């Protein structure tokens, strides 16, 4: 089954404690992206990757890091989380940028 | 120029009615206009998409109308059902490089009353 898998689904952490949200896709897609979803603000792109070892900033990259060492994996790293990073996060993948994007189930992160 | 403006923010429709959600864009390089549907607790999923070589695309009860000169596109849901209650996002992207990123509207929460 074609899918994008994110882990964990829910996470509560404390300010400053480094965390990683994993994302994996099994469709051999080149494009992968991370979005955060906040009420009234829609889906805002954090980082994207057009292929292995190729990553770039989206609209709201501050406080986040990513890496793309393998085609299927695109982890999101918060080195020092802060409460304003409390949000719902989605990973997505697509064959190319302007083709159908498949989204993961989401990770609800709370930073206290 | 990268924005996609979506309206309304929320919409209440009676069962059997027509739901209409509108989006407008500025970047004339955009060549892919999808609509995503999101149910609570789920990730967005592609509902229907259009490219600018056609003015309308219909899939079942869902229709995209596209007006290239006005730089607007809209989603029409005919015979709206309670099961259509969800948040709908329009999006746009262009071919190639960083322009391939999907730019999303802020979403419309649709409630279909029985």
pLDDT at A92 over 70: yes
Kindly report, residue by residue over A3-31, the tens digit of the pLDDT: 999 999 999 999 999 999 999 999 999 99
Q: Do A41 and B106 touch (CB under 8 A)?
A: yes
Query: Looking at residue A20, what is its pLDDT?
Result: 98
Q: Do B104 and A50 touch (CB under 8 A)?
A: no
| Mean pLDDT, residues A88-92 taken together | 97
Query: Looking at residue B97, what is its pLDDT?
Result: 56
Which among A55, A50, A100 is positioned nearest to A76, based on CA atoms? Answer: A55
Give the closest of A33, A98, A103 to B94, CB-based: A98
Give the closest of B95, B106, B107 to A98, CB-based: B95
Secondary structure of A39-103 in HEC code, one letter for each residue = CCCEEEEEEEEEECCEEEECCCCCCCEECCCCCCECCEEECCCCHHHCEEEEEEEECCCCCCEEE
Q: Do A90 and B105 touch (CB under 8 A)?
A: no
User: Which of A53-57, A76-80, A92-96 reaches the highest mean pLDDT?
Assistant: A76-80
pLDDT in tens, chain B (114 residues): 568 999 999 999 999 999 999 999 998 888 899 999 999 999 999 999 999 899 999 999 999 999 999 999 999 999 999 999 999 999 998 876 565 678 899 999 999 999
Among B87, B101, B103, the strongest candidate for a mutation testing the A interface, having the largest count of A CBs within 10 A, is B101
Cα separation, B59 vs A19, whole angstroms: 42
Confidence of residue A32 (pLDDT cuts 50, 70, 90): very high
Residues of B in contact with A105 (CB under 8 A): 42-43
């Amino acid at each position: 089954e074609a899918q994008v898998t994110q882990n964990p689904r829910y996470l509560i952490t404390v300010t400053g404690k480094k965390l990683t949200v994993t994302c994996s896709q099994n469709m051999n897609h080149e494009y992968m992206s991370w979005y955060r979803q906040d009420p009234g603000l829609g889906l805002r792109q954090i980082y994207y990757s057009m292929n292995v070892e190729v990553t770039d900033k989206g609209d709201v990259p501050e406080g986040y890091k990513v890496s793309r060492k393998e085609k299927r994996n695109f982890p999101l790293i918060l080195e020092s989380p802060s409460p304003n990073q409390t949000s719902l996060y989605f990973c997505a993948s697509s064959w190319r940028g302007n083709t159908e994007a498949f989204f993961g189930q989401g990770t609800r992160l709370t930073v206290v | 120029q990268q924005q996609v403006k979506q309206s309304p923010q929320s919409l209440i429709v009676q069962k059997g009615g027509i739901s209409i959600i509108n989006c407008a864009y500025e970047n004339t390089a955009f060549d892919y206009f999808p609509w995503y549907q999101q149910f609570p607790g789920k990730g967005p999923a592609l509902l229907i998409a259009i490219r600018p070589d056609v003015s309308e695309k219909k899939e079942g009860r869902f229709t995209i109308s596209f007006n290239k000169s006005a730089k607007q596109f809209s989603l029409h849901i005919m015979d709206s059902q309670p099961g259509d209650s969800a948040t709908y996002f329009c999006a746009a992207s262009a071919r190639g490089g960083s322009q391939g990123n999907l730019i999303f509207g802020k979403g419309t929460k649709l409630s279909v009353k029985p």
